[in-house]
Amino acid sequence: MSDANVDGPRPSREVSESAAPSLWGSLDDFSRDLWMRSVLNKYIVRSTPTKSLFHYTSPEAFWKMLDGGNIWLTNAAYLNDQEELTYPVRLANEILQEIHAAETNERVQAFLFQVSQSLVTHVAFKSWYIASFSTDGNLLSQWRAYCKTGGYSLGFNGRSLSELLSGPAFYAFSSVVYDENDQTAGIRGVIQRYVSAWHELREKYPTMESMQFNTRLALELLLALTEQLIFIKKLAFHEEQEWRVAKYRAGSDDLSFRERNGTLVPYLVADLRISGRLPLKEIYVSPLGEQELAHHSALEALRAKKYDDPEKLIREPGYRLRF
């Protein structure tokens, strides 16, 4: 489902504060109702990490992050593990089907069916961009996955990240949910909230054409669902203790691109600077590659960017790996 199928203006999640008043004035009453329901339930820092959060990365990306003071949010449809995409979509569709079967109102059933038909694996994630962190900065599975020939695990101050990601930039920031009962409860809660909204808004706008009504409300439910789904992973990945930064992006403005395995991958750049530098607390050197040289080059890079006491930031993993 695309916005092209929707009649009437639909506000972008990227609206600047200066543009908001004029955009708000251009909306019809139904769009304003949808917008308020969306804003009140989205783009919040759901919880604040009390410890460091680690981002595993290559030497080249480490330097680019230091040099630019930013991190890259990759389009979620391009995740390496396809199961990360198919599992949450499959779970959401199962719950949609259960609620659909229990619903007695045929018009609500049609609304839920429209959402289910639109919840296709890649389509669901193409407007979301994410960056991943772990609470463990020295995890063997992460070294093997992201630093196969060497690299770094960058430990960010968790509270500082929360503060940076709060506010008008509309980032979602949360720990990943691994427990299936919690996942199911979250998804079910979103769907039921929009079923209630269907009844409230249908009563408020009784003359609105049914297909247009369902399509516009279905788009909002689809967006709310996908925000849940990008924070869901199977229990088998629990050891990663992952946190994610996510951002919804409907257009192509401000996108950058990089090559990976023969595919052009879109990403967004998120500025994470505090006083011109990243809020780093510690940095682990990968157990792969030349640890002594990797340690030295990291120190030189930190010194070049005027980080305070860079020697105190660097950590050794305590073991070496060979492949």
What tokens appear for 95 in the block?
């719950």
**Closest to 191 measured CA to CA, from 269, 261, 96:** 96
Angle of the 83-102 helix axis to the 210-229 helix axis, nearest 10: 140
Structure confidence at residue 23 (pLDDT):
57
Place 80 in a pLDDT band, splitting at 50, 70 and 90. Answer: confident
Q: Which residues pair with 132 in a beta bridge?
A: 244
pLDDT tens-digit series, residues 98-141? 999 999 999 999 999 999 999 998 888 999 999 999 999 999 99
* pLDDT band at residue 5 using 50, 70 and 90 as cut-offs: very low
Strand ranges (DSSP E) for 185-250? 242-248
Tell me the pLDDT of the chain averaged across its residues: 87
Q: Is the pLDDT of residue 7 over 70?
A: no
Residue 279 has pLDDT above 70, yes or no: yes
What are the pLDDT digits (tens) for 234-266? 999 999 999 999 999 877 788 999 998 899 999
Please list, in sequence order, all residues whose beta carbon lies within 8 angstroms of the beta carbon of residue 79, skipping any fewer than 6 positions away.
Answer: 85, 125
Q: What is the pLDDT of residue 67?
A: 97
Euclidean distance between the first and final Cα of the chain, in Å?
A: 45
d(CA 101, CA 117): 15
pTM of the prediction? 0.86
Length of the chain: 323
307: which DSSP letter? -
Q: Is the pLDDT of residue 308 over 80?
A: yes
Query: How do residues 158-172 score in pLDDT, each as one tens digit?
Result: 999 998 988 667 788
**3-state secondary structure (DSSP) of residue 57:** strand
Residue 274 has pLDDT above 80, yes or no: yes
Q: What are the pLDDT digits (tens) for 187-229?
A: 999 999 999 999 999 999 999 999 999 999 999 999 899 999 9
Q: Cα separations (Å) of 126 from 45, 226, 231?
A: 22, 10, 15
Q: What percent of the chain has pLDDT over 70?
A: 88
pLDDT of residue 107: 95
Predicted local distance difference test score (pLDDT) of residue 60: 95
- Please name every residue paired with 153 in a beta bridge, in sequence order, or none if there are none: 56, 284
In this predicted structure, the answer to whether residue 9 has a pLDDT above a threshold of 50 is no
pLDDT of res. 165: 87
CB 240 within 8 A of CB 134: yes
Instruction: Give the mean pLDDT of 6-22.
Output: 43
At 25, the pLDDT band (50, 70, 90 cuts) reads low
Predicted local confidence at residue 168, as pLDDT: 66
pLDDT value for 302: 98
CA distance 171 to 218: 22
